[in-house]
Structure formats: structure tokens, C-alpha cells
Structure 1
Amino acid sequence: MAKAPPQRRFSFSSIVRQPLLGPLAALLLAVIVFSLITDSFLRPQNLSLILQQSVVIGILAVGQTLVILTGGIDLSIGAVAVLGTIVMAKVAGASGAVTALLVVLVVCAFAGLINGTLVTALQLPPFIVTLGTFTILYSATQLLAGSATYQVEQGPLTFLGKTFKIGTFTTTYGVVVMLLVYVVAWYALTQTAGGRHVYAVGGSPESARLSGIKSPRVLLSVYLITGVIAAIAAWAALGRIPNADPNAYQNANLETITAVVIGGTSLFGGRGSVIGTLIGTLIVGVLRNGLTQAGVDNLYQNIATGVLVILAVTLDQVARRRNR
């Protein structure tokens, strides 16, 4: 007589082994709590606002996810995007919006390529490399802008800020582009050999090398793609606010890391997903929006976000120990 299959027991260890389960539960819990303590949280206009406010960081977080999956970290991605907004504004004034979009794509991709080259050719730690390029790019942006803010006229550069309706729900083209970036990144990471190589390089560099994976080429490609993603985020930023400000998004680097970590991607590389990053981005957006509506000071919001990051890293450490 055949034995009945053993029943699965739900335990803390089984939960932490599911990278998406914790972030998804946290997102649902936050939505439920804020819908109970505020009157307007679940209104379509407010939900649309949360999505719109998450666009720039959400797009940048995709690039950050790719880098962290390889076992690195990018502290310059926000500075690359801000540089992109200034370049777009200045080039558009002289040569038109389409030329500006092409130029900023090249500039941001080149910045990513520099990061990747320094990490691979000189074998420098990504933390040090991107910290250095962050400082350089931030100063270069200030010099290029002359510490001034540039008003961007309505047109192709602000197109992603335009709204449209899906039934009674209003959203922007920037939200659509953000979701498209996630879909493309998800497909590339899960359905292509290049995506599997990214996980392999981050999970076990030595095993990847023995398997014939060219790790330097993978890393260089990841940083280059991250620069392209930063260019898309710069375009989305001008759609959100039609001003190119050299002082904007100063905390973007930390905010993207926060979204990635809360979304379940391991800071040690080789484990995680862009779907988790999207959930992490929404968690941060819901948390800030809900606490603002509840009248909580911004400083306390930062404390709450910091606690979430520490909790997420703790769970990641527990998962790594359980899987050994």
C-alpha cells in the first residue's frame, strides 16, 4: 500500500526560504493597515500617486538589482541619472529633444561602462569604484549646470509625465515604461543564458569561471545596462518634474538599495529577482505615502524604512544559513 506523501509544515525557516513571500506579505499588510487608519489611502487617485512617485526609483532599482545580483553594488546610479537630466536639458535647448535623448543614452551608458571597466580591468571593489564615480559625477553635474536649475519645455522630454485613464484609474506613461523595464529585465534574467550567467557570477564566481562563463564580460555588460537604465530613469524624472535640478535625487542610491534589499535580493549576490525589487519599491512608496497621510514626520518615516532594511538583511542572513 502506497504511503501518503508527507504533509508540508509551515515554519519560519520555510518562509525565509521563499524570497518573494516576505516582501509580498509586508506589502499587503502595509496596504491593509493604512487603509484602516486613513480615509483616503485606497482611493484611486492616491494609489495612482504612489505609482507615479515610485517611477524614478523603481526604474533605477532594476539596474541596482542587476549589479547586486553579481555581488556588487552601485552607489553612483542616482548621480548618473541626475547628470542625464542636465545633459538632456542643455542639449535639447541647442539641438532638440530627440537629439538630447540620444545623447543622454550615450552619456549614461558610457558612465556605466567606466564603472564596469574599473571593476573588471583593475579588479577594484564595486563599492569603492562607484563611490568614487558618484563623487566625480556629482561634481561634474554641478559644474555642467553651473548650480542652476533648467526648466524643460513640454514635449518629448516630458512625455512620460502625461496621464491617461484605464477605466476610472488615472496613470502616466512613466508608470507604463517602469513596468516594461521590469518585464524586460525579468525575461532577460530568467529566460536567457545571459541572465543565468548573472546569477552564476554572483552566486559562485569560481564555479562560474570553471563552467566557462566569462565573468569580466558579464560584469561589464551589467554595468553598461545599468547606465542605459539610468538614462531611462532620467527621462522619467523630467516627466515627473519638468526641471533639471543638479541637486535632485541625492538619496536615490540608498533608496534603490533599500528597494532591492526589502524585495528579497541578497546583498551577497546570486539570489533575488526584479519582481521582488518591484514589490520592495512599492513597499517603500506605500510606507511613505501612508505615514504622510497619517501625519507622521518625515524623520520617523526614515526610521521606519531603516528598520525594514535591517529586518530584510537579517532575514537574508537567516536564509543563507538555513540553506547551507
Structure 2
Amino acid sequence: MSTTAAPPNASPPARNAHTAEPTGATAALRRFAATPTAGPAVALLVAGLFFTLQSDRFLSGGNLALVIQQVMVVGTLALGQTLIILTAGIDLSCGAIMAFGGIVMAKLAADGTLPPLVAIAAGIGVCTLFGAANGALVTFVRLPPFIVTLGMLNIAFALTHIYSDEQTVTDLPGALTWLGETFPMGRTDISYGSVLTIALFLFFAYVLGQTAWGKHVYALGNSPEVARLTGIRTTRLRLAVFTVAGFIYGIAALLLVSRTGVGDPKAGQTDNLDSITAVVLGGTSLFGGRGLVLGTLLGALIVGVFRNGLQLMGVGSIYQTLITGGLVIIAVTVDQISRRRTR
């Protein structure tokens, strides 16, 4: 029996309905799995489930609100850190800058040198200047961000102890502690500072995802030379990123003071590492150009959930640090493997 060949330009036969592309919930699930926040979200859910099974106190409204309050300072620091890491930089000085800004605003307000709101603005302004100084050294002197921010960490740390005279600042006016106050939401008390932190994350999620400035930040992290050749003013942009990050550290300083109710010169000594941990766990690549600030929020919550859950289980703080370090290594390893596969 003879057969007739199909013409070369004939359309392929229609696909069977069973082999059609996934639609609806399946397609949405696959799209979600492809996003940088999928891994952190799943990790957060798994951690929450694990600690819920280990302690009946974990899932209570009061405890979850406490977790959010505990991570709002580190989370805000991590937000500024995310902007810098997206440009393939890093900032080791963020915790020390935050501590100095907190001491400045607390001391100026407590001594009556400046009105409370002006003192707050002065503290945030000092942090912004530190960020700009970091950016200027990295941009114009072309020093590695690691070296610049390591040096700035020591400078900010020393200035904090010199200016405070090693004394904790107390008796702060209400304007500095207001963000630490809470309001009821159902059966849970939520702090105003937590709301501010979430608002900051949503704002910068919009900026990075929907504005030209945000797209330029990603381009700078992917390839500074290509970004420059496409007309992006990379020098100005990098300086702006460090300056904005410094401003965010100033807000973190206010959140720290409002949560603790004092200006503590010993604050923030490990928060720089905690902020980097949150960024990495949130799926942002340390090599720049890839990541989301909402992932950083999830990363900060992962750190907070682990520490809170382990504390409820009676695990010592040193083991909490050990486990957190292991999580960071795993997250960086996954990022490195992912980059190799995409090459």
C-alpha cells in the first residue's frame, strides 16, 4: 500500500490534550518554583512546621509577633545589604554604622541638645554619610568593598564607644521609643516598627522591580562593563546604592533604639553577619545581579524562626549560631551550583 508524504510546510498534528502544556494551578506552581523566593518560602514553611511539632508555644500569636519584632532590626539592615549585594558588593560595616547612628540620636535627644525629631534626623543623617563614604571609596578610589567596609566597621565601632563614653544612654523621649510600642491585631500585639519594616520592603520591592533605577541596579550587578556601555552611569549608581543603604541603616538604628528603649554602644556587633545571612538565605546571589528583597525578608524570618524555635526547644545559643552558619553554607552552595548550571 502506498503512502502519501505530507508536504514539507504542513502543520504538525495537533497535540493530544493529555500532552498539552500545563495550565492553571500546575503552571502557577511551576512559575513559583522558578522564582528566587520559592526556596526560602518552602524552607520557612518547613521550619515553621517542624518547630510547631516540637513546641506548642511556637505557633501562638504572641510568639509569632515576637519573632517579627526580633527580626525587624536585622531585616531592615538586610534590606540595605541586599541593595549592595545586588551590585556584587558587600557591606561589613552596617551593624557598626547602625550602632553609631543609634547612639547619636539617643544621646542628642536624652541630653536635650536637640529636639527628639531633629536628633532622629541627625542619627539617620550620620548613617547616610557613612554609606556615602563607603560608596565614594569603592567608586572613586576603586577599593574593594570588603576592605572599605571592614575598615569602616572599625571606625564606626570606635566612634560609637568614644562618643558614648562606654555608657548606655537611658531616659529617652517617647519619640525615640514610639516604634517599639504595639497595637492589637486580633489576639496579637503588633509593633509599629514591624509595620514600618514591612512597608520598607514593599517599597523597595516596587523600586527594584518596577523602576528604571531598580533595573539598572540589577544590570550593574550582572556586568558593570555592559551596564556602562548601555549608557548607565555606573559610578553615580554605585554611589547612590551605598548612600541609600546607609539611610536604611539609619532607620534600622531608630528601630533598634525603639525596641530596646536605650542607646547601647555594644549593639549591632554581630548584626552585619546576620544581615548577610538573611540576604543569602533569601536567595540573593553573592555574585550580584540576582535576587529579590522579599526573599531577604523571608531569609530574615528564617533566621528568626530558627533561633526562636531552637530557644523554645532549650537549645543553647552557641548551637543556634552553629546551625545558622550551616544554613548559610548550604544556601551559598546551592547558589553556586545554580550559577554553574545556567552557564
Change (3 A) 1:147 1:91: same
Q: Does 1:320 align with 2:316?
A: no
**1:91 maps to what in 2?**
108
Q: Which amino acid letter does the alignment assign opposite residue 26 of structure 1? A: A
User: SS of the residue aligned with 1:147?
Assistant: coil
Aligned with 1:76 (options 72, 90, 93): 93
Aligned with 1:182 (options 201, 209, 233): 201
- Rg comparison, structure with higher value: 2
Matches for 1:31-50 after TM superposition, within 5 Å: 31-50=48-67
User: SS of the residue aligned with 1:148?
Assistant: coil
- 8 Å CA contact 1:71–1:267 kept in 2: the answer is yes
Aligned with 1:196 (options 186, 205, 215): 215
Aligned with 2:68 (options 48, 51, 62): 51
Matches for 1:87-236 after TM superposition, within 5 Å: 87-92=104-109, 93=111, 94-236=113-255
Deviation at 1:239, TM superposition (A): 1.1
Q: Does 1:5 align with 2:17?
A: no
Q: Which amino acid letter does the alignment assign opposite residue 20 of structure 2? A: P
Aligned with 2:262 (options 220, 238, 243): 243
**Partner Cα distance (1:103, 1:57) in 2:** 21
- 8 Å CA contact 2:93–2:150 kept in 1: the answer is yes
Q: Structure 1 unaligned runs (5+)? A: none
Q: CA RMSD in A?
A: 1.8
- 8 Å CA contact 2:85–2:287 kept in 1: the answer is yes
Deviation at 1:160, TM superposition (A): 0.4
**Partner Cα distance (1:15, 1:112) in 2:** 35
**Partner Cα distance (2:115, 2:293) in 1:** 34
Change (3 A) 1:82 1:321: same
Change (3 A) 1:261 1:70: same
- 8 Å CA contact 2:124–2:253 kept in 1: the answer is no
Q: Identity rate of aligned residues, in percent?
A: 49
Q: Does 1:21 align with 2:18?
A: no
Q: Structure 2 unaligned runs (5+)? A: 1-12
Q: Deviations over 1:280-323 (max 9, x none)?
A: 00000000000000001111111110110000001101110111
**Partner Cα distance (1:188, 1:98) in 2:** 27
Deviation at 1:17, TM superposition (A): 5.3
**Partner Cα distance (2:300, 2:63) in 1:** 16
**Partner Cα distance (1:170, 1:103) in 2:** 30
**1:291 maps to what in 2?**
310
- 8 Å CA contact 2:138–2:148 kept in 1: the answer is yes
Q: Which amino acid letter does the alignment assign opposite residue 2 of structure 1? A: A
Deviation at 1:96, TM superposition (A): 1.9
**Partner Cα distance (1:89, 1:175) in 2:** 20
Change (3 A) 1:155 1:15: closer
Q: Which amino acid letter does the alignment assign opposite residue 239 of structure 1? A: S
- 8 Å CA contact 2:88–2:286 kept in 1: the answer is yes
User: SS of the residue aligned with 1:164?
Assistant: strand
Q: Does 1:266 align with 2:301?
A: no
**Partner Cα distance (2:202, 2:75) in 1:** 13
- 8 Å CA contact 2:281–2:328 kept in 1: the answer is yes
Q: Which amino acid letter does the alignment assign opposite residue 75 of structure 1? A: L
Q: Which amino acid letter does the alignment assign opposite residue 200 of structure 1? A: A
**Partner Cα distance (1:5, 1:206) in 2:** 42
With normalisation by structure 2, the TM-score equals 0.91
Deviation at 1:16, TM superposition (A): 8.3
With normalisation by structure 1, the TM-score equals 0.96
**Partner Cα distance (1:174, 1:314) in 2:** 33
How many residues are aligned here?
A: 322
Q: Which amino acid letter does the alignment assign opposite residue 315 of structure 1? A: V
**Partner Cα distance (1:122, 1:227) in 2:** 19
- 8 Å CA contact 1:15–1:22 kept in 2: the answer is no
**1:275 maps to what in 2?**
294
User: SS of the residue aligned with 2:267?
Assistant: coil
**Partner Cα distance (1:152, 1:109) in 2:** 26
Deviation at 1:21, TM superposition (A): 1.3
**Partner Cα distance (1:149, 1:160) in 2:** 20
